[in-house]
Amino acid sequence: MSRFAARPLVAVLGPTNTGKTHLAIERMCGHSSGMIGFPLRLLAREVYDRVVAIKGKESVALITGEEKILPEKARWFLCTAESMPLDREFAFVALDEAQLGADPERGHVFTDRLLRARGREETMILGSEALRPMLKTLAPDAEIINRPRFSTLSYAGPSKLSRLPPRSAIVAFSAEEVYAVAEMLRRLRGGAAVVMGALSPRTRNAQVAMFQAGEVDYLVATDAIGMGLNMDVAHVAFASLRKFDGRRQRRLTVAEMAQIAGRAGRHQRDGSFGTLALEGARAAAFEEEEVEAIENHLFPSLDHLHWREGKPDHASIDQLIADLERRPESPVLRAAPQAIDLAVLKRLAAEDWVRDRARENGMVRRLWAACGLPDFRKTGAEPHSRLVGRLFRHLSEGTGHLPVPWFADGLARLDTVQGDVETLADRIAAVRTWAYIAHRPDWLADPAAWAERTRLIEEKLSDALHQRLTQRFVDRRTAVLMREIGAKGSDVLPVKVAEDGVVTVDGEPIGHLIGFRFKADPRARHGDMKRLLAAAERRLGTELSRRAKALAADEDSAFTLATDADRPVALFWQGDVVARLERGRTPLTPRIRLHRALDALHAADRVAVEERLAAWLEAGIARNLGPLVEIAAAARDPDRPPALRALFAPLAESGGVIERKLLESAISGIDRPMRQAAARLGIKIGTLDLYCPALLKPEPLRWRLALAAVQEGAVMPALPPSGAAALPTPDEAQAFAAFQRAGYRALGAQMLRIDLVERLARIAHDARSGRAAFAPDPKLATSLGLRPPSFAQLMLALGFRPAGAVEERSWIWRGKKPQQRAAVPRPGNAFGALAALRR
């Protein structure tokens, strides 16, 4: 026992959230000096930051295996239990989570501190109520104070991941399980912070800060959160109730369950706990007795603690091992299972070179100190003993310092932030090994410089790991949406639309508003799309209404007729679709159907948009298809002669281009004045076709094909090259029909624009003399790109026949054969019937 054993010893016992640690910090700060031992480096660091805020940086020390902040005038020490300097005198000493003395792996450390660590003026033991009988036996003079929990802890049953309440912590017992749950939360709820004991304090603090700040509503952690890490958790969900304890897979004890579940609810806010029902997996389940014990904080009392000699004799290796394996005298103490430091020592003791070097007290101490290097990478006793052996070889020769090149090379290999989460976590674990070495006062020639170097590398890796964890497990955009959409009674979602159309929610971009269409961010997962669209549809009404009013008042130049090949014909405003055209009563009167993106508009806005689009479309048809509009009007004019109306009607329905043979019967009934009337409307009655030359120009042609496709319920066909005279005859029937409608006549393997067909027909007739053979000048046909076989097809269609072999290119006019009366394009055409009756 310490020389301060007679001083007041107080044991503060109780469940989680009783303020035990807070009380110890207050008591320590009230003394002239003090020390608290904690179970975790993370917890020691957290309390260190709190005490620094009270006492100042120059007065507070932090001592853990891998981190040492030791100001010259430090009076208050925050340490891990293993790193508590028991050779120093403090007015106040406390040990947190003392019930860990029952832990098979580290219990002997806590038991030793419970027995030997004493303050000059006050000593405080913090722990679970289960520790009471051990204290009565081992420290009968201790004053035991029981503290009740500040809030109620209740069982909430199993929950699916998608139904977990906000501010939940999900506890898993392996890194793989932690990552899997975090990944699922990212898809379903926007992500989670990740906390594991293997994380550096810097990474852990950054992750917890995200959770505390509300950037994410979920935390996925190992059972490290059970050891006093204070976070704003409302519910704890167990992904599993089994863990691997280093030797076997076993079910958690009730005390372990309670320690973890107790993280739910802080101070006077109640908390709940339950299990996580993962799809496709058998859900963990609490027994009724376990639930009752956790809710009422009733746990079996400890009947033993693990113990190992805390001050072994270093006279020889054998004496050291004997002391470490010596059994305790007290009936409530049990010999601790062989820890990895003792396992490594025994392996090295079997090496002759080790025994040769460790013959005297000082070198045995050095060997034992080397064996104390933690196995941060969890490689196991055999691989770890090889590293310790090399370490001791260097420490036991020459100056007794580690070679700088060896240490520097090992550290340099870790100085890179490339890699994924697992790679960076492994690298940090390796850096902790070098940091532990650097913090030994006599292992390096310049330990302070190397300790700083390892700190910088660990910080760099920690920042990179935090970034990777956030990238992998947090979708802040979805988290914001889930929080805002789920907020009952919230009528104002902070949605903003930038000038370039970027839509943000609480500053996070969720997509673009293109015209009236909201396009979700393509980086969002498929499962997030519905939420993004829902947020946009619910909150973009004001912006859409503003855009509707802008459309209704915009100039004609802002609108276009979209005629992309193989797509429906559409109306665009400022470069984006706002409506589709559908079949109307006639090709010149298509219906306008607004795009579904405009469904969110109010009725008045929709009417204004429809009226503006209809006015622009009508003006566009009049501007580009004026002759066709006049022909269609003339076909309906009762004052026009029936024979002329019989000509106009099918010509208007076919878009201003039709083969002559289809209207031969109507043409035969037209006299000279009627022809002049047709000519005044721009109609050309050609040798082979009737057409309006003005409608063959590129823009009218595009509009004609577009309206024809709309009337037929088809997509827009490919347009002929602008201004092309002769084209290859397409193999596809749809393209062939489109080229014919555009005003091209098929001539074998080629098609020629019909106005050029008429020019060649006129040249041919001007060149002939009666029925004598003649050879047309081929220059024009050649200049148009018409090949001889296609030209021959044209001559035959015009009524010529070869004078000899076709290759001789001499032709004879054979005259027109009597034409059979051809039917008009549409059976039952009334005007055609009237013309027939008239004849």
Domain residue spans of the chain:
9-146, 153-296, 323-471, 486-539, 550-624, 626-813
Q: Which of 413, 357, 426 is nearest to 389 (CA)?
A: 357
Give 28's DSSP letter: H
What CATH class does 153-296 carry? alpha beta
Pick the CATH number of 9-146 from 3.20.20.190, 3.90.1150.10, 3.40.50.300, 3.40.50.970: 3.40.50.300
How many CA atoms are closer than 13 Å to the CA of 762, on its beta-carbon side? 9
> What pLDDT is attached to residue 744?
93
Average pLDDT for 248-256: 87
The interaxial angle of helices 361-371 and 381-395, nearest 10 deg, is 140
List helix spans (H) across 526-671. Answer: 526-539, 541-553, 603-624, 626-635, 642-653, 664-668
Please return the burial class of 667, using the count of CB atoms within 10 Å of its CB with bins 0-12, 13-18 and 19+: buried
User: Could you identify the residue written with the tokens 């673009």?
Assistant: 512
The neighbouring-strand residues paired with 77 are 35, 61
pLDDT digits (tens, 9 = 90+) for 538-588: 667 888 899 999 999 999 999 999 999 999 999 999 989 999 999 999 999
pLDDT digits (tens, 9 = 90+) for 448-502: 999 999 999 999 999 999 888 888 887 665 655 565 555 543 344 567 788 788 8
Average pLDDT for 372-388: 90
Do the first three CATH levels of 9-146 and 153-296 match, i.e. the same topology?
Answer: yes
| pLDDT surpasses 90 at 700 | yes
Q: b/e per residue, 508-528, with b = 16+ CB within 10 A?
A: bebbbbebbbbbbbeebeeeb
The tokens of 736 are what? 């062939």
> What pLDDT is attached to residue 563?
93
User: Could you identify the residue written with the tokens 């590293």?
Assistant: 387
> What's the rounded Cα separation, in Å, for the pair 704 and 698?
10
> What's the rounded Cα separation, in Å, for the pair 77 and 66?
15
In contact, 464 and 417? CB cutoff 8 Å: yes
Q: Which of 795, 760, 730, 754 is nearest to 654 (CA)?
A: 754
pLDDT digits (tens, 9 = 90+) for 299-343: 889 999 999 999 999 999 999 999 999 999 999 999 999 999 999
Average pLDDT for 84-103: 94
User: Could you identify the residue written with the tokens 């003649």?
Assistant: 774
User: Could you identify the residue written with the tokens 């100085």?
Assistant: 415
List helix spans (H) across 439-553. Answer: 447-473, 476-485, 526-539, 541-553
> What pLDDT is attached to residue 815?
75
Write the CB contacts of 552 (distance below 8 Å, at least 6 apart in sequence). Answer: 608, 609, 611, 612
| pLDDT surpasses 50 at 824 | no
pTM: 0.60
Planar angle of CA 280, 286, 288, nearest 5 degrees? 140
pLDDT confidence bin for 159, thresholds 50/70/90:
confident
DSSP conformation letters of 698-721: HHHHHHHHHHHHHHHT-PPPPPPP
The tokens of 725 are what? 């005279």
DSSP conformation letters of 113-171: HHHH---SSEEEEEE-GGGHHHHHHH-TTPEEEE---SS-EEEEEEEEGGGPPSSEEEE
| pLDDT surpasses 80 at 532 | no
| pLDDT surpasses 70 at 240 | yes
Average pLDDT, rounded, for the chain: 87
